[in-house]
């Protein structure tokens, strides 16, 4: 096993599931901290602000510094700034996220871009049709991610990617996709360490978002069999992780940490 100079952890499905931490996750993070290996968290979660996510994790017993979390909405924000957008239509379930995008004029008519998060049960025909009409009239679709599904409290649940694909099909326009598996998110999260990408390992439960994303970013990958992991998906996929472990609790052993 390589001696990593940095570790990027997915959160949902790796560190926690539902409203509970994965057994052994805190102990694993403590051992990595004792070994003085820097780590950050990368997440495609768009249903809450980063600050609320930090509070959510603390409520489960995991203290995380906000600056150690890199989220898909954060990447979308930087992308919109880079593109020079002035007016956006922000479609997210948590109105508090509007404050994060306060540097843009938020409009309902003729936005430069539709910035789209996972609306879950609030994705209605009416909403999708409104977004479709904005797209065909010139608005760019900026998807915070394009995950197929995630593991919720009720089991596997379709995710934002389902609705992004519908909008792309109907409008004939391709969305600009932020978050994992885009390599920019991985590079952004590891930037402060100033280390070669191949010395960083990514721990995830999603063969496409985490493992394929890590490979695109030139990083090593470790797939955990928790969260949305499915044996049949792994068997059928052409994407092969560098390592597979039962859960994040087994990571210290893989890294030969005491």
The dihedral region occupied by 18, where left means phi > 0, alpha psi between -120 and 50, and beta the remainder, is left
> pTM, whole model, 2 decimals?
0.85
Q: Where are the beta strands (DSSP E) in the chain?
A: 6-10, 16-17, 20-21, 39-43, 69-71, 87-91, 105-106, 113-116, 140-143, 149-152, 155-158, 176-177, 200-204, 220-224, 243-245
Domain co-membership, 172 together with 187: no
Q: Enter the tokens of residue 82.
A: 């880079």
Cα 56 to the chain's mean position, in Å? 16
Judge whether 236 lies within some domain.
yes
Q: Enter the tokens of residue 88.
A: 């956006």
Are the C-beta atoms of 237 and 11 separated by less than 8 Å? no
Domain co-membership, 78 together with 90: yes
Domain co-membership, 195 together with 217: yes
Confidence at residue 45, expressed as pLDDT on a 0 to 100 scale = 87
Q: How far apart are CA 61 and CA 209, in angstroms?
A: 26
Cα 189 to the chain's mean position, in Å? 11
Are the C-beta atoms of 147 and 161 separated by less than 8 Å? yes
Confidence at residue 153, expressed as pLDDT on a 0 to 100 scale = 78
Neighbours of 133 (CB within 10 A): 12
Confidence at residue 89, expressed as pLDDT on a 0 to 100 scale = 97
Judge whether 87 lies within some domain.
yes
User: For tokens 């599904």, what's the residue?
Assistant: 149
Q: How many residues does the chain have?
A: 258
Domain co-membership, 154 together with 86: yes
Q: Please state the domain count of the chain.
A: 2
Q: What is the domain range of residue 200?
A: 6-44+180-254
Are the C-beta atoms of 150 and 228 separated by less than 8 Å? yes
Residue 247, domain CATH: 3.40.50.1000
- State which of 116, 142, 177 marks the end of a domain: 177
Q: How far apart are CA 89 and CA 105, in angstroms?
A: 8
Q: Enter the tokens of residue 160.
A: 């934002």
Q: How far apart are CA 229 and CA 206, in angstroms?
A: 6
Are the C-beta atoms of 44 and 180 separated by less than 8 Å? yes
Q: Dump pLDDT digits (tens) for 142-161.
A: 999 998 988 777 888 999 99
Q: Enter the tokens of residue 5.
A: 């100079």
Residue spans of the chain under pLDDT 50:
none
Q: Dump pLDDT digits (tens) for 50-90.
A: 889 999 999 999 999 999 999 999 889 989 998 999 999 99
């Amino acid at each position: 096993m390589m001696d990593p100079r940095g570790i990027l952890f997915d959160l949902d499905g790796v560190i926690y599931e539902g409203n509970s931490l994965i057994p052994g996750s805190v102990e694993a993070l403590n051992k990595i901290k004792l070994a003085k290996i820097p780590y950050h968290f990368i997440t495609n979660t768009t249903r809450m602000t980063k600050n609320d996510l930090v509070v959510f994790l603390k409520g489960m017993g995991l203290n995380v510094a906000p600056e150690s979390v890199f989220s898909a909405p954060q990447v979308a924000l930087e992308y919109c700034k880079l593109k020079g957008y002035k007016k956006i239509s922000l479609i997210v379930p948590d109105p508090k996220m509007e404050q994060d995008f306060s540097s843009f004029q938020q409009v309902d008519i003729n936005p430069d871009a539709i910035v789209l998060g996972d609306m879950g049960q609030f994705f209605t025909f009416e909403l999708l049709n409104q977004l479709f009409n904005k797209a065909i009239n010139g608005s760019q679709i900026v998807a915070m991610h394009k995950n197929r599904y995630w593991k919720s409290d009720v089991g596997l649940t379709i995710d934002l990617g389902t609705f992004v694909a519908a909008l792309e099909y109907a409008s004939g326009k391709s969305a600009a996709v932020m978050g994992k598996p885009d390599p920019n998110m991985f590079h952004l999260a590891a930037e402060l360490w100033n280390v070669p990408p191949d010395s960083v390992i990514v721990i995830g439960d999603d063969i496409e978002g985490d493992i394929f994303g890590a490979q695109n970013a030139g990083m090593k990958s470790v797939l955990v069999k928790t969260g949305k992991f499915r044996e049949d998906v792994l068997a059928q996929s052409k994407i092969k992780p560098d390592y597979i472990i039962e859960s994040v609790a087994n990571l210290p052993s893989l890294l030969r940490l005491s």
